Chains A and B, each alone.
Chain A
Amino acid sequence: MTATSAEPTRRDFLYIATATVGAIGAAATLVPLIAQMNPDASTIAAGAPIEVDLSPIAEGQVIKVFWRGKPIFINHRTKKEIEEARNVNVASLPDPQPDSARVKPGKDQWQVLIGICTHLGCIPIAHQGSYNGYFCPCHGSVYDTSGRIRSGPAPANLPLPPYEFLSDTKIRIG
């Protein structure tokens, strides 16, 4: 039986080189097969930003718009709701976040949230629950008037979509 020589042979080189090229080729083949499942161009285009006119929304009213297939809550908060959202020991929250970080500066009354419960994806109901914020009927998560989780199985506050004010009465979401 030949002992393994100290020098790699030409055959060893060929084996390793072939296997390497084969592995790179296999990985390259997989790329389009996996990438095709990511959102396609038409889906991305349909997910382009939308503009929403805020003037018809009365104080205390919550409207629902759709952006990228997700429901967006736009809440014209009352003074009482803003106060209740501010009057809280932030450190005691399950997902600590001050209300000021969840609105645009100078626009405390406008709350724009993605209306999907962070637990398993149901849509919470506005003006319900013990904080008169949002309540998710699926498993009982309770959010406050800032959309922060207070009790129930949801792990995180209702997230904010990317948005900006184009004027005092118009926002662009996305």
Chain B
Amino acid sequence: MSGHQTYQPTNPFMQWLERRLPIGGFVYSSFVVYPTPRNLNYWWTFGGILSFMLAAQIVTGIVLAMHYTPHVDHAFNSVEHIMRDVNYGWLLRYLHANGASMFFLAAYIHMFRGMYYGSYKEPREVLWILGVILLFLMIATGFMGYVLPWGQMSFWAATVITNLFSAIPLVGEAVVTWLWGGYSVGNPTLNRFYSLHYLLPFVIAGVVVLHVWALHVVGQNNPTGVEPKSEQDTVAFTPYATIKDGFVLVCFLVLYAWFVFYLPNYLGHPDNYVPANPAVTPTHIVPEWYYLPFYAILRAIPNKLGGVVALAASIFILALLPWLDTSRVRSANYRPLFRQFFWIFVLVCIGLGWLGSKPAEGGYVIAARILTFYYFLHFLVILPVLGWVEKTKPLPNSISESILGKGLSAGASGSAAAKG
């Protein structure tokens, strides 16, 4: 942690508390004087946004839970009751549903930032893996939350996804029955999804604590990928990073509010306003937009078990990134060839997402197979090979040098910039 200034409270209450539970000092060293690289750009603000969105989802979720009924005969109607009768219920519901989309949007940007700047590389491997775990928990939480309104999409998404586990050899059917608590998706399933949907966000919060702890131990990465070498390379977290995070958060909230107030159902599926009917399958079962790339990968493999394995692998492979990328250089700013492959990868992910929304027939299937193949190729072949063959640009000697230029940054102690 920071060794800069220790917390010296002047307020008598804080002095009293600090001796008994040093939370003031903890906040001070972690979020006030914490040395932050001075060259962080706006892509570094999404961690703060994610923390806010987690809190927002928990708060809106808990108040929604005061009005929701987790029973197949009442769930759909209880959501309509929230929308129509509960004071500001419509607002809370739209905040929570659109909040999930905003949560995933921020998460994907946050992850792409990590991939571009090599934030997963040594010594941040554990930080990155904790992030992959957080993604997995988010996906599980979002899936179960979507089942709760018990609309057509809720029911059939639950049916499709729980059926995936029947692909497990030998025990598959038993696992599915155990998950369902019955012989098909029904009331026991809804009830347990409600319980776990309430639980997992707090598990996420716990892992976020580990994630931030892991971050603070190694320090943040920065756009050059060169670690801070002196005090000249860093600034205090407060006010610099705090205000930057706060500003971008407000802009993000404008986008969030745009959806909540003007386009509250745009990201959703109209079929979920039809009560669940086990006898009628909707013509196109599609998940919410943030699951579409994974859905495309699942459907691309013609074999059932193969599709499930590919789906799991597409998430799990992210955890191997620190070891698949063999380059010694962290940041794509100094890796011109990697940079091009990075943007191709981004386009592939967007392409997979688009294909996930299409019916699985004809040209769409072929395209999905090509893009799925490329997705895994990127991780398993392109990244390792790039590290070996790429000619990287020379790194700056320090963060200060990258901002101020070679001559000007040579004033402070410890800076390795040459004067002549």
Could you tell me which A residues sit within 8 Å of B by CB distance?
34, 37-40, 43, 47, 64, 66, 68-71, 119-123, 137-140, 153, 155
Interface footprint category on B: 20 to 34
Contact of A69 among B163, B182, B299 (CB under 8 A): B182
Task: Report yes or no: B181 in contact with A37, Cβ–Cβ below 8 A.
Answer: yes
Task: Report yes or no: B285 in contact with A68, Cβ–Cβ below 8 A.
Answer: no
- Interface of chain A: mostly helix, strand, loop or mixed: loop
- Interface of chain B: mostly helix, strand, loop or mixed: loop
A122, B159: Cα distance in complex, Å: 8
Q: Is B13's CB within 8 Å of the partner chain A? A: no
Beyond A122-B281, A139-B361: 13 further Cβ-contacts under 8 Å? A37-B181, A39-B188, A43-B182, A43-B186, A69-B184, A121-B159, A121-B160, A122-B159, A122-B285, A138-B281, A140-B360, A140-B361, A153-B304
Binary interface encoding of chain B residues 174-188 relative to chain A, with 1 for a CB under 8 A from any of its CBs, else 0: 000111111111101
Contact of B182 among A34, A39, A120, A138 (CB under 8 A): A39
Q: Is B242's CB within 8 Å of the partner chain A? A: no
Task: Report yes or no: B283 in contact with A121, Cβ–Cβ below 8 A.
Answer: no
Closest 5 CB pairs of A and B: A69-B184, A68-B183, A121-B163, A122-B281, A123-B281
Given contacts A39-B177, A122-B156, contact A137 B186 (CB under 8 A): no
Binary interface encoding of chain B residues 137-167 relative to chain A, with 1 for a CB under 8 A from any of its CBs, else 0: 0000000000000000000100110011000
Contact of A39 among B183, B185, B299 (CB under 8 A): B183
Q: Which residue of A lies closest to B298 (CB)?
A: A120
Which among A34, A39, A47 has the highest number of chain B CB atoms within 10 Å?
A39
A27, B114: Cα distance in complex, Å: 41
Task: Report yes or no: A40 in contact with B181, Cβ–Cβ below 8 A.
Answer: yes
B196 to chain A, nearest CB (A): 11
Q: Which residues of A contact B177 (CB under 8 A)?
A: 38-39
Binary interface encoding of chain B residues 184-210 relative to chain A, with 1 for a CB under 8 A from any of its CBs, else 0: 111010001000000000000000000
